[in-house]
Amino acid sequence: MIDRFKHFCALFRADDEGAVTVDWVVLVSAIVGMSIMVLSIIWQGAFTFSMRLNSEVESMDVVNYTDASEDNSSAENAAEDNTAEQSSSASF
């Protein structure tokens, strides 16, 4: 009986079937854990940078050229109307 148990223990110790799977599970879990840590660090830095960039962009003064060109064109039209009125009144 003891010989059978010793034989069973020797076979059990020599049998490495499934050991590669255990190695891969440990390796993959370590990689996933480290990836989560690294991504959280990168995310915090990126979030802080984006908030700073947002505040900088919001504080910038921007010229709206479409409004300026509309204002200029209306001013030019008004000036042309005044010139036309003056020339028509001068001809009488």
Residues 72, 53 share a domain? no
Whole-model pTM: value is 0.42
Alpha helices, DSSP H only, in the chain?
A: 2-14, 19-59, 65-90
Residues 54, 26 share a domain? yes
Residues 56, 41 share a domain? yes
Full domain range(s) for residue 76: 64-92
Distance (Å) of CA 85 to CA 11, 74, 78: 113, 16, 11
How many domains does the chain contain in total?
2
Residues 51, 78 share a domain? no
Please give the full DSSP string across 8-34, using - where no structure is assigned: HHHHHHH--TTHHHHHHHHHHHHHHHH
User: Mean pLDDT of residues grouped by 10 in the chain (92 residues)?
Assistant: 88 78 92 95 92 92 69 59 56 48
pLDDT value of residue 92: 47
